[in-house]
Structure 1
Amino acid sequence: MNLLAHLHLSTGQPVAMAAGNLLADFMRRFGATDIDPEFAAGVRLHRAIDVFTDSHPLIRAARRLIAPPRNRLAGIIIDIALDHQLSRHWNAHAALPLTTFVRARLAEIQAYLAAHDTPLNWVIRRAIRDDWLLSYATLAGLDLTFERVASRAPVAAALRGATADIARHDAHFQQLFHAFYPALRAHAAQTHAALAV
């Protein structure tokens, strides 16, 4: 799952844990360290979500939908495709409207990070400024998302144009989301309970 799902799977959790779950993938890149025990628990939750997702039979089967040259990046494409589906079916999984939820939760995380000297402050400012999490809702937003990811490393350049894969297999990704996301939510809730500090 990508950023939107990680934030959604932190609903009801302390802001520090939500920050760790949301930003775990950026820690190594920016040389960030755990801020406090709740943040560290959020990072562990993020990793547990990723392991569950990547090893799930439905996700593994979906990797076959992505043709060369992007097939080696299928995991990233599927994660973003599922965030696209979450955006589209948000009201079935959340009490607050998508925009309200994202803006409020990111503002809480930004305020939390501002109290700490961490390079992750830059990430959250960019996520808010460029509406990263709201961009998953449209195909044009997915193009921007893939461009952003592709610009980070030459190996990811094949992600440019991956929106076409998502659009081509929209019905399959929609079925995949409806079959997989409830299981992921249950797994995240169990993991959160085990990690509670």
Structure 2
Amino acid sequence: MNFLAHCALARAHDDLIVGGFLGDFVKGPVPAQLPGLIGAGIQLHRRIDAFSNTQPDLRVSIERLPAQQRRLAPPFVDLLADHFLARKFEHHHGESLETFTHRVHAVLDERRDQLNGRATRFLAFMQDAQLFLQYQSLDAVEGAFLRIAMRLKRPQAVAPMMDAVAAQYDALAADFERYYPSLAAHADDWMQARSLISAEPRSC
């Protein structure tokens, strides 16, 4: 999953949101010195990613994309998930995307001293670009995917991927609506097992 989904699935606690955001910037063992539940948030991030890789409907989305670009399909599907979530955020989580975006920005600002250099730089970009709100547009997805493709020296992958989305948009959206609730339920179960949230289910 990508940044919006990780933060949303960790939204039960501010520290978990920080850990969900940090997950892509911390490799190896989770630093023991992280305060509060930030370390648990990183662990949750990793658990969500591992579980998402087992989801048949997410695999279906990957297989809808051009076979020649299959190596880049998983991160692209993660970006698409943020797009579909952004467009129906209130349906899945019971609050507006604008309200949640403001909360995430405030939480990360308050804990900026817990972020490493890469995370701090990305946070500044994310806030300046209003990235969560921009994910409602496919243009933002294309821009984010272009940055990934350029880093991997595969910029030629962008056009065929976006063409595939245009041709199969409704099917990809339907895939998301099947797999995202499973991810949310798995995240809740993980947090409940560790007494991080109550047993009452959250909206999704």
Note whether the superposition's TM-score is higher than 0.5.
Answer: yes
Query: Could you tell me which amino acid in structure 1 is paired with residue 11 of structure 2?
Result: T
Q: Which string of whole-angstrom CA distances, capped at 9 and with x for unpartnered residues, describes residues 123-152 of structure 1?
A: 212211122222211111112211222333
Task: Work out the CA distance in 1 between the residues paired with 2:192 and 2:106.
Answer: 25
Compared with structure 1, are the counterparts of its residues 72 and 108 closer, same or farther at alpha carbon in structure 2 (3 Å cutoff)? same
Residue 53 (structure 1) shift: 0.7
Residue 117 (structure 1) shift: 6.5
Answer yes or no: is the 8 Å Cα contact 1:110–1:125 preserved in 2. Answer: no
Compared with structure 1, are the counterparts of its residues 196 and 132 closer, same or farther at alpha carbon in structure 2 (3 Å cutoff)? farther
Residue 11 (structure 1) shift: 1.5
Residue 89 (structure 1) shift: 1.4
Unpaired stretches in structure 2, ≥5 consecutive residues: 197-204
* Equivalent residue number for residue 158 of structure 2: 160
Residues 72-87 of structure 1 aligned to structure 2 (within 5 Å): 72-87=71-86
Compared with structure 1, are the counterparts of its residues 117 and 66 closer, same or farther at alpha carbon in structure 2 (3 Å cutoff)? closer
Answer yes or no: is the 8 Å Cα contact 1:41–1:195 preserved in 2. Answer: no
Residues 94-173 of structure 1 aligned to structure 2 (within 5 Å): 94-114=93-113, 116=114, 118-119=116-117, 120-154=119-153, 156-161=154-159, 162-173=161-172
Task: Work out the CA distance in 1 between the residues paired with 2:151 and 2:94.
Answer: 34
Query: Could you tell me which amino acid in structure 2 is paired with residue 101 of structure 1?
Result: F
TM superposition score normalised by structure 2:
0.83
Corresponding pairs, count: 192
Compared with structure 1, are the counterparts of its residues 96 and 141 closer, same or farther at alpha carbon in structure 2 (3 Å cutoff)? same
* Equivalent residue number for residue 38 of structure 1: 37
Compared with structure 1, are the counterparts of its residues 33 and 118 closer, same or farther at alpha carbon in structure 2 (3 Å cutoff)? farther
RMSD of the alignment, in Å? 2.3
Unpaired stretches in structure 1, ≥5 consecutive residues: none
Task: Work out the CA distance in 2 between the residues paired with 1:5 and 1:82.
Answer: 7
Answer yes or no: is the 8 Å Cα contact 1:69–1:158 preserved in 2. Answer: no
* Equivalent residue number for residue 6 of structure 2: 6
Compared with structure 1, are the counterparts of its residues 194 and 160 closer, same or farther at alpha carbon in structure 2 (3 Å cutoff)? same
Q: Which runs of 4+ in 1 moved over 6 A?
A: none
